[in-house]
Structure 1
Amino acid sequence: MRQFLPFALLLAAPAAAQGTAPFTIDGHGFATLQDAVDSVRLGTATILIAPGVYHQCAVQAGGRITFKAQQPGTAIFDGAPCEGKAVLVLRGQGSTVDGLVFRGIRVADGNGAGVRTEMGDLTITNAMFLDSQEGVLGGEPTAQHIAIDRSTFSGLGQCDETPDCAHSIYLANRGSVSITHSRFERGRGGHYVKLRVPNVSITDNSFDDTGGRKTNYMIDLPEGATGLIAGNVFVQGRNKENHSGLIVVSAEAKTYRSTGLRIENNDARLSPGDTTSPAFVADLSHDRLAVGANRLGAGIRPFETR
């Protein structure tokens, strides 16, 4: 598995953005992120973001925009969501988030996120989502494609602040979601990954729940899905709200067929002292899943039909 951004990078970041133009497009500077976004209109652009801690947010209303840190891990967005939703509210034709850090985001409805996707394909790479209600949230009722790679999700989720839970990642669309080479840890409620999509690819990730509190499933596919879950490492923590399963399929509905969903070559363990007996895969779809060989520690049952 690839290396994740070290937390030391956060400590090394300047306390505030330097200079008068922390956001640049092709060398042209902007004082605020929203000014830079607005200048793109329906075009295509990369917004380079200087090192610093920013209490800003932006709404993308059109175009294709890449939000890119000049140096990964040093452009930190601290709180300050737009529209009571997220630091980046995305409803353009497409968006890429590269190397940014999002932390401390909370809103009244309990869904404060680093990134809220409402329209357009989305790629997230080398990003960090820390100590917020939610990391990445949203989707659209079309064939939207979302890819998340080499990113860290830590201290996210909640079930205490509002009637509905928030999760580290919660996405819904009628296209696909891919999550690769990423780390999930220290959840604070809800699920680590919750996807209401027909096609998923969740590979080569690390799920470390040993420091979690009031968490639920590692991966929740509440309406079913096909695709691949492989090469992941799971450690189930002791302080959970729901111990019953690590990967759960169709717990709420059977919107999407799950026949052929491949779950293989994963490694799962219980944290020391955990005496529960969860199912590695809990299936409520009653479709024919393709559960292959997985390396399971003591106490974890391979499969359960509910």
Structure 2
Amino acid sequence: MRTSFKYAHLSNSVLLGALVGLLAPSLAQAATLSVGAGKQYKTVKEAVAAAKSGDVIEIDPGEYVDDISSIKTGDLTIRGVGDSRPHLRATVPPPNKKGIFVVEAGVGPVTVENIEFSGSKISQGDGNNGAGIRAQGTDLTVRNCYFHDNQNGILAGDGAMTVEYSEFAFNGEAGYEHNIYIGTAPKFVFRGNYSHHVKSGHAVKSRALENHIVYNRLMEEADGNGSALIDLPQGGLSYVIGNLIQKGPKAENKNRIIFYKGEGGTNPDLRLFVSHNTFVNDGSPNAVFVDAPAGTEVHVLNNLFVGPGTPIKTGDPNAMVVDLGNLKLDDAGLVDRSGYDYRLLDGAPGIDAGEALDAALIPDSQYLHPSQTESRPVVGAPDVGAYEFGVDEGTTGETSTGTDSTGDDSTGDDSTGGDPTGEPGTSSEGPTTDGPTTGGPTTNDPTTDGATSDGETTAAPSTEGSIGTTDATGGASDTDPGTDTDTGSAGDDDGGCGCRNDAGGGPGALLTVLAVLGFTARRRRR
């Protein structure tokens, strides 16, 4: 006898409607909290204190002086709106002894967009490590923000971290602070950013287990006095792809540009992939472009090394070193080397000179100043360096600017840190100013001490670096003094930020149920 199951053939639309009805109470709780003159909240900290999971805080343009917030609610988006970034400016040491925004332990995901942070400094006795954002939570995305004149731009712990389309400038103080510092995170994505003029420290420093540093402009320029441009002291599976990396003539550490596994603990995966970057050394002839004292595999591929120095230096005789398709030149045929425009001129030696690489190491984007990316065209054989000469007529003409007016924080990460497509070959990058940049339009995000081994000396180690849990007074209770041996990197700390927790209700739960039922989401190119 045949048995009929009348509910077995409900349409997807009926099931979807039923599921939305079941989840409606949790979805309905989400709210938009407005901050500004004449708005619901006058200060950011008031809105942050009132926010609930799923809420969006929108901040009007203006200056918010000593408006310090402790973020204790996950699934939260905080964004600037309007025609300019709201400026959160600290004029006194943050009372929490940490930063202007502090994402507390166990909190996430949190997304911060289109906000300017400056002036965060605390005393040497409290650590000398005031930050624009102190990230101690589980998952933080920062997009289209500007961090300047803090002791640290971002100081993060052991949580997942994505930073894109943002600017970092003039952060640092005594060499123990950096434009951005990431602890032992599971994954760090740094894409489409402009990090420059760090004071004594590093443009980018990360102890993460996995690093994707892609399509950025990392520079000291004419008067910056930084240390390494990229410091990955504990190694990790690391992809450094499609970046513009410049060592300046006034750098305090003249000898290292990328420094891999130089000190501290050792991450389990010691593979480094450096492909399609344009390096320019305007400083010491003793500089090493890629310095890897330890590593199981060091792949240096299709990079353009401009100026004096040693392209690759390794300290482990057993390391597998792949040196393929790189060019070292004094005159690389750049559009404007002194103006930091590293696109290729017609006839440049790097055109069509690259080797065919694994797909994971081929850049699909290139940096567009300021703090944007555009699609990298495919024109003949690959060009060496961060830019492809010519125009791929099949591209869509879009650029990625990183601000999302809808609150979507998907990043589209893959092993190359790939970005959406855009029109290639139209960058007008040239001399820059030290002032803030806007990061492009504010809508439509299409994506998501002592002696050193160099013989230099730095100040004695400091007591900076407490990035542990918050005690009853709001200070930090744990300290990791660090063991950095190169200029400007001793005394760093670890702790604080972890991986995304997708448990619970809300939109994430709805998507999970739909996935089980066989629904698929299609990403549409806009």
Q: When the two structures are superposed, what TM-score results if normalisation uses the length of structure 2? A: 0.50
Displacement of 1:254: 5.0
Which of 78, 93, 111 does residue 89 from structure 2 map onto? 78
* Residue 244 (structure 2) pairs with residue 233 (structure 1): yes
Displacement of 1:212: 4.5
* Residue 214 (structure 2) pairs with residue 224 (structure 1): no
Which of 125, 129, 146 does residue 128 from structure 1 map onto? 146
- Relative to structure 2, which stretch is displaced further, 69-78 or 171-180? 69-78
Q: Secondary structure at the match of 1:262?
A: strand
Q: Secondary structure at the match of 2:55?
A: strand
* Residue 134 (structure 2) pairs with residue 116 (structure 1): yes
Which of 292, 295, 298 does residue 304 from structure 2 map onto? 295
Output the CA distance in 2 between the equivalents of 1:120 and 1:64.
11
Residues 269 and 300 in structure 1, CA contact (< 8 A), matched pair in contact too: no
Higher relative contact order (CA 8 A, sep 6+): 2
Displacement of 1:221: 0.5
Partner in structure 2 of residue 44 of structure 1: 54
Which of 278, 283, 289 does residue 287 from structure 2 map onto? 278
Q: Deviations over 1:2-44 (max 9, x none)?
A: xxxxxxxxxxxxxxx85233xxxxxxx1222222112224x22
Which of 57, 62, 71 does residue 60 from structure 1 map onto? 71
Output the CA distance in 2 between the equivalents of 1:72 and 1:279.
43
Identity of aligned residues (%): 24
Partner in structure 1 of residue 101 of structure 2: 88
Q: Secondary structure at the match of 1:119?
A: coil
Displacement of 1:127: 0.4
Which of 132, 148, 166 does residue 151 from structure 1 map onto? 166
> How many residues align structurally?
273
Closer/same/farther in 2, CA of residues 121 and 86 from structure 1, 3 Å limit:
same
Q: Secondary structure at the match of 1:83?
A: coil
Superposed structure 1 runs of 4+ greater than 3 Å apart: 211-214, 257-260
Q: When the two structures are superposed, what TM-score results if normalisation uses the length of structure 1? A: 0.84
Residues 45 and 69 in structure 2, CA contact (< 8 A), matched pair in contact too: yes
Displacement of 1:256: 1.1
Tell me the C-alpha RMSD between the 2 structures.
1.8
Q: Structure 1 regions of 5+ residues with no counterpart?
A: 1-16, 22-28
* Residue 216 (structure 2) pairs with residue 205 (structure 1): yes
Displacement of 1:277: 2.4
Q: Secondary structure at the match of 1:246?
A: strand
Closer/same/farther in 2, CA of residues 52 and 189 from structure 1, 3 Å limit:
same
Residues 279 and 302 in structure 1, CA contact (< 8 A), matched pair in contact too: yes
Residue type of the alignment partner of 2:56: T
Displacement of 1:188: 1.1
Displacement of 1:250: 0.9
Output the CA distance in 2 between the equivalents of 1:82 and 1:40.
21
Partner in structure 1 of residue 258 of structure 2: 247
Q: Secondary structure at the match of 2:48?
A: helix
* Residue 80 (structure 2) pairs with residue 69 (structure 1): yes
Output the CA distance in 1 between the equivalents of 2:307 and 2:43.
53
Displacement of 1:258: 4.5
After the TM superposition, which residues 166-205 of structure 1 pair with which residues of structure 2 at under 5 Å, given as runs? 166-205=177-216
Closer/same/farther in 2, CA of residues 77 and 211 from structure 1, 3 Å limit:
farther
Displacement of 1:72: 6.2
Displacement of 1:259: 3.8
Closer/same/farther in 2, CA of residues 212 and 148 from structure 1, 3 Å limit:
farther
Output the CA distance in 2 between the equivalents of 1:18 and 1:264.
45
Residues 137 and 169 in structure 1, CA contact (< 8 A), matched pair in contact too: yes
Partner in structure 1 of residue 118 of structure 2: 103
Closer/same/farther in 2, CA of residues 260 and 250 from structure 1, 3 Å limit:
closer
Q: Structure 2 regions of 5+ residues with no counterpart?
A: 1-34, 316-526
Closer/same/farther in 2, CA of residues 168 and 215 from structure 1, 3 Å limit:
same
Output the CA distance in 1 between the equivalents of 2:83 and 2:101.
17
Closer/same/farther in 2, CA of residues 59 and 74 from structure 1, 3 Å limit:
same
Q: Secondary structure at the match of 1:263?
A: strand
Q: Deviations over 1:156-175 (max 9, x none)?
A: 11226xxxx10000111341
Closer/same/farther in 2, CA of residues 139 and 299 from structure 1, 3 Å limit:
same
Output the CA distance in 2 between the equivalents of 1:122 and 1:275.
37
Residue type of the alignment partner of 1:151: S
Displacement of 1:238: 1.2
Larger Rg: 2
Closer/same/farther in 2, CA of residues 289 and 73 from structure 1, 3 Å limit:
farther
Q: Deviations over 1:142-161 (max 9, x none)?
A: xx32101100001111226x
Output the CA distance in 2 between the equivalents of 1:238 and 1:232.
19
Q: Secondary structure at the match of 1:289?
A: strand
- Relative to structure 2, which stretch is displaced further, 213-222 or 29-38? 29-38
Output the CA distance in 2 between the equivalents of 1:291 and 1:110.
36
Residue type of the alignment partner of 1:118: Q
